[in-house]
């Protein structure tokens, strides 16, 4: 069943094909400061409506696009290669949606996985 979400001001509105079975809390310097909980999808499983405004931040390796709303400041989604092996796989791109932005979704009902990004990279 599709799940919808948006930033606070609704400048960024999105829909995913299904609710996540888990969310990821990353302890790296940027994710921990954002406070995002990431739900990972393939690009064809996410539809992001045309945005009234958007902004992207790239850091260090420049391979991850950290998208956020410049109007309300919400961290919305990232676009990156799959990093599950520890190396970027550009043939398998991923979109991570900030699960805190889902409408009518109980985050406590899904498993939270912690990645030690502080020490891994």
Model pLDDT for residues 96-111, shown as the tens digit of each residue: 999 999 999 999 999 9
Question: At residue 49, does pLDDT exceed 90?
Answer: no
Question: At residue 118, does pLDDT exceed 70?
Answer: yes
Angle CA(61)–CA(66)–CA(72) in degrees, nearest 5? 150
pTM of the model: 0.88
Report the Cα–Cα distance between both ends of the chain, in Å, rounded: 35
Percent of the chain predicted with pLDDT > 90:
62
Return the pLDDT at 121.
63
Return the pLDDT at 25.
94
- Distance from C-alpha of 13 to C-alpha of 52, rounded to nearest angstrom: 10
Helices of type H across the chain = 29-34, 117-120
60: helix, coil or strand?
Answer: coil
């Amino acid at each position: 069943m599709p799940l919808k979400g948006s930033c606070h001001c609704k400048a960024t509105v999105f829909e995913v094909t299904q609710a996540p079975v888990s969310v990821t809390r990353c302890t790296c310097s940027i994710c921990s400061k954002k406070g995002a909980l990431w739900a990972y999808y393939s690009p064809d499983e996410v539809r992001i409506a045309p945005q009234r405004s958007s902004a992207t931040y790239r850091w260090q390796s420049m391979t991850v696009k950290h998208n956020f709303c410049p109007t309300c400041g919400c961290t919305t989604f990232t676009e990156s290669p799959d990093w599950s092996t520890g190396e970027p796989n550009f043939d398998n791109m991923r979109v991570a949606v900030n699960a805190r932005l889902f409408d009518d979704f109980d985050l406590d009902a899904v498993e939270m996985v912690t990645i030690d990004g502080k020490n891994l990279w």
